[in-house]
Chains A and B, each alone.
Chain A
């Protein structure tokens, strides 16, 4: 019988594996890009992941929990715990420039930075992710998923989605 070598799986391995999980609704961003994985702790063969939701009613949340579990079990962990943390509340301000550019390339206008009030945050003109024109208007305050609104570009005459500022 072959001897099974118990290999220490490092924290870096765990983060690397998690960065390979895509958001099911915005596949260009990983859960790590989205900054919804708050913390990862490794103790022997047990991994504990702190996950924070984007929108509370997001139907992808359970799916993401399962993906995390499966990914880390495949890496060799015996036990994977996913803890849901609401505080501090997730904000789109956490998205880095690289993630924002990935959204643009995918055809989604990135979220505006948060201002003192929501109305204030939504005042600035939205730039069309296709042609980069600012001749755009809000078409619908709500969109195909909880995290998006629908805009229309007068310049290239296309509808596009915009990530809601949260």
Chain B
């Protein structure tokens, strides 16, 4: 089924946005799946396996819309594409680390998803709006889970606090990379496709800062007279395809089985 782009929305930039959304979901979904069989407790093993499956399902939705706009098939995007062509942010590709880092990354990502999806739910591009509305319903369960873990682990014991704080120091600058401005983004904003990453980033900081503070976690954010200052250098470049070795290894693992028999089925 081919889709038409409404007049005024630049197709190339729209596809860039769809693929960025999809790549973040697929790559974080893959990282989450690395806990299957390895999480510290059974409930978390089940949780991260479920979350992985949800995120990969969401990736499929975004890749499918991209395909309907003339892009490559979802399978090609996931299993045949060269790792240097992925446009996920560095944050989602970073190795899973300890469980503290995983939990904090998931929370920071889940809030970003809420902010992004609520925004896309009023997109001028109907297929994107409808997908966002649907995905939002499922994402509520992720956020409820990751937020309660962050709050508990941040305040539980000296050891759990220490590990969560260490995770925050690595994760925060990386998380800012989720909001790297896309090439051609201004035209998408003008066409009402979404409000743009700069606006989304501010909304995200406003939500995560008080929650992290309640979890006794320090992040380099200052707020004075309603004005937010971020004292961290965002880890950007992923949206332009400037990827790191972590992603190369992940993509190699992810594509190994497919490449044994491309296009095979069972």
Contact = CB atoms under 8 A, between A and B. Distances in A.
Interface of A: 53, 55-59, 83, 86-87, 89-91, 118-119, 139-144, 146, 150, 164, 166
A142 B57 contact: no
B73 interface: no
B135 A140 contact: no
Contacts of B51: 142
23 contacts: A56-B57, A56-B58, A57-B60, A58-B57, A59-B53, A83-B1, A86-B131, A86-B133, A87-B130, A87-B133, A87-B134, A89-B130, A89-B137, A90-B134, A91-B137, A118-B140, A118-B141, A119-B144, A140-B43, A140-B47, A142-B43, A143-B50, A146-B54
Interface residues of B, number: 27
B134 A57 contact: no
A139 B43 contact: yes
B135 A56 contact: yes
Contacts of A146: 50, 53-54, 57, 138
A139 B47 CA distance: 11
Contacts of B54: 55-57, 146
Contacts of A83: 1
Contacts, number: 70
A57 B53 contact: yes
Given A118-B140, A139-B43, A86 B134 contact: yes
Sorted nearest first, the 4 A-B pairs with minimum C-beta distance are: A57-B57, A87-B130, A56-B57, A142-B50
Interface of B: 1, 42-43, 46-47, 49-51, 53-58, 60-61, 130-131, 133-135, 137-138, 140-141, 144-145
Nearest to A121: B140
B133 A89 contact: yes
Nearest to B135: A56
B148 to A, nearest CB: 9
Interface of A is mostly: loop
Contacts of A164: 141
B130 to A, nearest CB: 4
Contacts of B137: 89, 91, 166
Contacts of A139: 43
- Indicate the member of A57, A118, A141, A164 with the most B CB atoms within 10 Å: A57
A56 B60 contact: yes
A11 to B, nearest CB: 23
